[in-house]
């Protein structure tokens, strides 16, 4: 925040000292500094504002675009993450940025130079089935990259409730839980009823037929009868990891 305040103060000091006319200052004040790559405004100050690394959502971008954005961000932020990345996008980034690696289970390109723990407790990442793991891994990886200890609890869906109950203690010792489930999306309600911590629910597109690509799970989670549940987009492991990290820093 220092940098930001500093530059604004410098500008106003310039007005104060008469080096800048009020009119010019009006115009300048509207501009927070960001760099223009032509196809994307790289917003270095988002880092300042929210205290988190920048993230690239990879689908629909060419490998060259991902690499260029990733490189610029890596000049300013210690940790950078590209989600839903392909191997091809990773190879392009690897050629431009030193120290990146690819987490295939989470389909993510990762640059982690700051390994400090910012979270004050543990985050549980829970998945209903084996097929939900890629989304859960995206959430877990995001949380780890943002400086959190993560407990992974996978394949504990509601049709075998005893499997979940075995982990009740571990979950309740976390400060926040992420629950990923497709099909009927019932797991967040059950977890929410078992523990008194905030639960971030992630509907996944796992299922077929009347799951309608995750709509059934999304609607189920929106209607959770447990009051400690809030929901992010279908398959949005990153968002869940991000929200949970913010909560765990409090």
Report 172-191 residues binding a copy of itself (CB under 8 A): 175-176, 182-186, 189-190
Least distance from a copy of itself to the Cβ atom of residue 18, Å: 7
Least distance from a copy of itself to the Cβ atom of residue 214, Å: 6
Q: What is the rounded CA–CA span in Å between residue 111 and residue 206?
A: 29
* Intra-chain end-to-end CA distance of the chain, in Å: 18
Burial of 59 (0-12, 13-18, 19+ CB in 10 A): exposed
Stretch that binds a copy of itself, among 45-53, 72-80, 89-97, 108-116 (CB under 8 A): 45-53
Closer CB to a copy of itself, 75 or 165, in the complex: 165
Least distance from a copy of itself to the Cβ atom of residue 223, Å: 4
Does 81 interact with a copy of itself (rule: CB under 8 A)? Answer: no
CB 141 within 8 A of CB 108: yes
Does 43 interact with a copy of itself (rule: CB under 8 A)? Answer: yes
Quote the DSSP letter at residue 60: T
Query: What order of strands is seen across the sheet that includes strand 101-103?
Result: 55-57, 79-83, 108-112, 101-103
In angstroms, the Cα distances linking 206 to 6, 66, 182, 212 are: 49, 27, 5, 9
Closer CB to a copy of itself, 99 or 120, in the complex: 120
Tokens of 26: 């009006």
Footprint (CB under 8 A) of a copy of itself, residues 129-158? 129-131, 133, 154-158
CB 205 within 8 A of CB 219: no
Closer CB to a copy of itself, 38 or 98, in the complex: 38
Stretch that binds a copy of itself, among 27-35, 70-78, 91-99, 106-114 (CB under 8 A): 27-35
Least distance from a copy of itself to the Cβ atom of residue 98, Å: 24
């Amino acid at each position: 925040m220092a940098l930001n305040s500093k530059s604004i103060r410098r500008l106003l000091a310039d007005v104060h000292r008469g080096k800048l006319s009020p009119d010019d200052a009006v115009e300048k004040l509207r501009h927070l500094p960001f760099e223009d790559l032509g196809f994307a405004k790289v917003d270095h100050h988002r880092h300042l504002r929210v205290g988190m690394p920048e993230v690239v959502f990879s689908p629909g971008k060419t490998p060259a675009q991902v690499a260029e954005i990733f490189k610029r961000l890596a000049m300013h932020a210690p940790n950078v993450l590209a989600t839903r990345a392909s191997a091809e996008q990773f190879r392009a980034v690897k050629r431009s940025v030193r120290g990146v690696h690819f987490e295939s289970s989470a389909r993510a390109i990762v640059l982690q130079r700051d390994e400090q723990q910012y979270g004050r407790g543990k985050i549980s990442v829970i998945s209903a089935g084996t097929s939900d793991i890629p989304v859960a891994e995206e959430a877990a990886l995001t949380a780890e990259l943002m400086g959190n200890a993560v407990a992974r609890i996978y394949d504990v869906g509601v049709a075998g409730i005893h499997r979940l109950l075995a982990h009740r203690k571990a979950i309740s010792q976390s400060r926040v839980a992420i629950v990923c489930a497709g099909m009927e999306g019932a797991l967040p309600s059950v977890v929410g009823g078992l523990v008194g911590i905030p639960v971030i629910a992630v509907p996944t597109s796992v299922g077929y037929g009347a799951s309608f690509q995750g709509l059934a799970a999304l609607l189920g989670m929106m209607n959770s009868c447990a009051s400690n549940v809030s929901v992010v987009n279908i398959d949005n492991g990153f968002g869940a990891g991000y929200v949970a990290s913010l909560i765990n820093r409090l």
